[in-house]
Structure 1
């Protein structure tokens, strides 16, 4: 589903990753992180897709909200596990959404 975001400006965190073959606890942790992020102040929504490369984009009201999410202790544990177990490579990008537009054919 496409996240419903407010009128710009707002911020996006783009997390691009390549997984290794260790799936132990990955899905459970990913679901916990989605739930935890959604309860964080400033969270606006997210979108995610995974094939050979995974891309998750989360949307936030401001940079302070993003910093607080990164500093969340449970999120820090998941970040550590990601480096140690689940990812062979990842990159995080933070950007300002200055404009958006949409189309729905429903």
Structure 2
């Protein structure tokens, strides 16, 4: 589902990852992280897709909201588990969205 964001400007955090074969607890943690992010002040929405390469984009109203989410204890624990078990590699990119447009039937 395409996230319903506010009028720009806002911020996008693009998390791109390559997974290991270890799935132990990954799906449950991913669901939990989405639930927690939705409760964070400044969270605007999320989109995700996974095949060989996973991409999750979360949208935030400020850089401060992004930093607060990064410092969330449960998110920090999940990030460490990702480094040790679930990911071969990942990259985080933070972008300011200045313009958007789209199409919907």
TM over 0.5, yes or no?
yes
Equivalent position of 1:104 in the other structure: 104
- Give the Å deviation of 1:25: 0.2
Question: What are the equivalent positions in structure 2 for 1:1-106 lying under 5 Å apart?
Answer: 1-105=1-105
What are the ranges of 5 or more consecutive residues in structure 1 without an aligned counterpart? none
Q: Aligned partners of 2:104, 2:73: CA distance in 1, in Å?
A: 38
What are the ranges of 5 or more consecutive residues in structure 2 without an aligned counterpart? none
For the residue of structure 2 that corresponds to 1:47, the secondary structure is strand
Q: Aligned partners of 1:49, 1:26: CA distance in 2, in Å?
A: 15
- Give the Å deviation of 1:62: 0.2
Q: What RMSD in Å do the two structures reach over aligned CA positions?
A: 0.3
**Where has structure 1 moved over 3 Å in runs of 4 or more?**
none
Aligned length: 105
Normalising by structure 1, report the TM-score: 0.98
Q: Aligned partners of 2:5, 2:75: CA distance in 1, in Å?
A: 23
Normalising by structure 2, report the TM-score: 0.99
- Give the Å deviation of 1:102: 1.1
